[in-house]
Amino acid sequence: MPINKTEVDRRLILFKATLKESGSKLTHQRLEIFRAIASSLEHPDAEAIFRTVQRRLPTVSLDTVYRTLWKLRDLGSIATLGPRHESVRFDANLEHHHHFVCVRCGLARDFMSAQLSALRVPAAVRRLGSAVAVRADVYGVCDRCARREAAGQKRKQFPSYKRRKTSQEKRI
Amino acid sequence: MPINKTEVDRRLILFKATLKESGSKLTHQRLEIFRAIASSLEHPDAEAIFRTVQRRLPTVSLDTVYRTLWKLRDLGSIATLGPRHESVRFDANLEHHHHFVCVRCGLARDFMSAQLSALRVPAAVRRLGSAVAVRADVYGVCDRCARREAAGQKRKQFPSYKRRKTSQEKRI
DNA sequence: CTGACTGCAAACCCTTTGCAGACCG
DNA sequence: CGGTCTGCAAAGGGTTTGCAGTCAG
């Protein structure tokens, strides 16, 4: 199941460097949480990571896993798949089309593209399962959000991952 | 905001036919909920649809909206964008890659594809905003799920939208 | 009429947060 | 040691469900 051990080690070293560089502390929990993700071929969710880490650190709590995951994401050590905590959206346009999704506000608009519609399933996928379809969407910043930003207004962004206040901030 | 009225009417007629065909009842709520989605250019979430419908049917409840939405989806009258109620997944592979996602169990595996990596942002997108990236993923059925299904075993599928029991089923 | 549909309220799941104590550097 | 991190427990947001009454066909 786990990928090549050398690769995991490489990622771990990089991760430790990143942590130190950012002035964050290297705790057992963080190490194990990162190891759990780095050594998995699937893309685990918080719950799965939690269960894996629990085997080595029986006292970790699920919320530490969550906090750590967002921190690692902020540090650029891991990435997230799919939208986080977004509610489902519905679409009555049943014709083949693509979406332009705003990374700031989550707005999704339709567009057509012959190029994207013509995509064929790559051969590399064959050994993973029987492919049904390729979905291609474009991500970017919609005009409205771009205008807001140009106006210098700070608005809450779409994946507004709240950071825990530091004691410095609390004191204010 | 709303799209072309003729198009909305066309969709409404089709919708009514689908409802009748499936033996489902055509209620005010269903009609208004469908209209709300069909006449929106954006892809609203349940909350937004609820607010829209409320203007015409002040007594609708949010849960009716949800139940109706999943029913319409089951009937094929509308589609959902993105995964529904799935928890976020994490990925320590920071190199450019694509995902094969199993539509049954949600499993996501990495693969590389020069073709998909080479995608350019279509010109049609320009008027929607400033595009940043194209994401292309492949959807299908993974080997494990295919084997299960071949073995004839019924398993809970990934988007296992629970259906409300009919009184027939309840009686059992 | 009768079973499918609705509204209500309470439950549920995943995720977040305030707090006080633990621990890294 | 000081401030960051953690565990706990309780809150939060989005979605689901059991129930009893309502309504479409």
Separation of alpha carbons B104 and A34, rounded Å: 27
Report d(CA A137, CA A142) in Å as an integer.
Answer: 14
> Dihedral through CA B76, CA B80, CA B86, CA B91, nearest 10?
120
- In the numeric block, the tokens 């719950």 are attached to A47
Q: Which of A80, A88, A101, A104 to mutate to test the interface with B (most CBs of B within 10 A)?
A: A88
Assess A102–B contact: CB distance below 8 Å, yes or no.
yes
Q: What residue of A is the nearest CA neighbor of B15?
A: A92
Interface of B with A in 113-152 (CB under 8 A): 113, 115-116, 119-122, 124-125, 128-143, 145-146
Given a contact cutoff of 8 angstroms between Cβ atoms, the answer to whether A14 and A21 are in contact is no
B128, B132, B147, B158: best mutation site toward chain A, by most A Cβ within 10 Å?
B128
Predicted confidence band of residue B85 (pLDDT cuts 50, 70, 90)? low
- Distance of alpha carbon B128 from alpha carbon B24, whole angstroms: 38
Model pLDDT for residues B97-112, shown as the tens digit of each residue: 999 988 877 788 899 9
Closest C-alpha among B113, B45, B133 to residue B82 = B45
Report the amino acid identity of residue B89. Answer: R
Q: Which of residues 62-121 of B touch strand D (CB under 7 A)?
A: 62-63, 66-67, 70, 84-85
Which pLDDT score is estimated for B83? 62
Q: What are phi and psi of A153, to 5 degrees?
A: -80, 135
Q: Which nucleotide is nearest to B47 (CA to C1')?
A: D14
Instruction: Tell me, yes or no, if B52 comes closer than 8 A to chain A by beta carbon.
Output: no
The nearest alpha carbon in chain B to A14 belongs to: B92
The CATH number that domain B1-94 falls under is 1.10.10.10
Contacts of B45 (CB under 8 A, 6+ apart): A86, A87, A88, A89, A90
Q: For residue range B4-22, what is the model confidence (pLDDT) as tens digits?
A: 889 999 999 999 999 999 9
CB distance B145 to B125 below 8 Å: no
- Mean of all residue pLDDT scores within chain B: 84
Where exactly are the structural domains of chain A? 1-94, 96-160
Residue B142 CA to C11 C1' — how many Å?
A: 34
Note the pLDDT tens digit of each residue in B121-168. Answer: 988 888 888 888 898 999 888 888 888 777 754 444 443 344 443 333
CATH topology classification for A96-160: Dna Ligase; domain 1 (3.30.1490)
CA–chain centroid gap for B7, Å, is 20
How much is the pLDDT for A87? 81
| Residue among A117, A139, A78, A132 nearest B100 (CA) | A132
Q: How many CB atoms lie within 10 A of CB A14?
A: 15
Q: Which nucleotide is nearest to B60 (CA to C1')?
A: C7
For chain A, give the secondary structure using H, E and C.
CCCCHHHHHHHHHHHHHHHHHHCCCCCHHHHHHHHHHHCCCCCCEHHHHHHHHHHHCCCCCHHHHHHHHHHHHHHCCCEEECCCCCCCEEECCCCCCEEEEECCCCCEEEECCHHHHCCCCCHHHHHHEEEEEEEEEEEEEEHHHHHHHHCCCCCCCCCCCCCCCCHHHHHC
Which residues of B are less than 8 Å from A117 in CB distance? Answer: none
pLDDT band at B3 (very low <50, low <70, confident <90, very high): confident
Percent share of chain B, pLDDT over 90? 50
* pLDDT at residue B80 tops 70: yes
Among protein residues, the one whose C-alpha sits closest to the C1' atom of D9 is A63
**Protein residue at shortest CA distance from C1' of C7:** B61
**Strand D closer than 7 Å to the CB of B17?**
no
b/e map B67-100, b = 16+ CB within 10 Å: bbbbbbbeeebbebbbbeeeebbbbbbeeeebbb
Amino acid at the residue A136:
A
d(CA A76, CA A74): 5
Burial environment of residue B122 by CB neighbours within 10 A (0 to 12, 13 to 18, 19 or more): buried
Cβ A94–B79 below 8 Å, yes or no? yes
Which residue positions in chain A have pLDDT lower than 70?
Answer: 1-2, 82-85, 152-172
User: Distance from CA of residue A4 to its chain's centroid?
Assistant: 22
The reported pTM is 0.82
Residue B89 Cα, gap to closest chain A Cα (Å): 4
Predicted pLDDT at B84: 58
Q: Which pair of structure tokens corresponds to residue A90?
A: 């519905």
Query: Any chain A CB within 8 A of the CB of B65?
Result: no
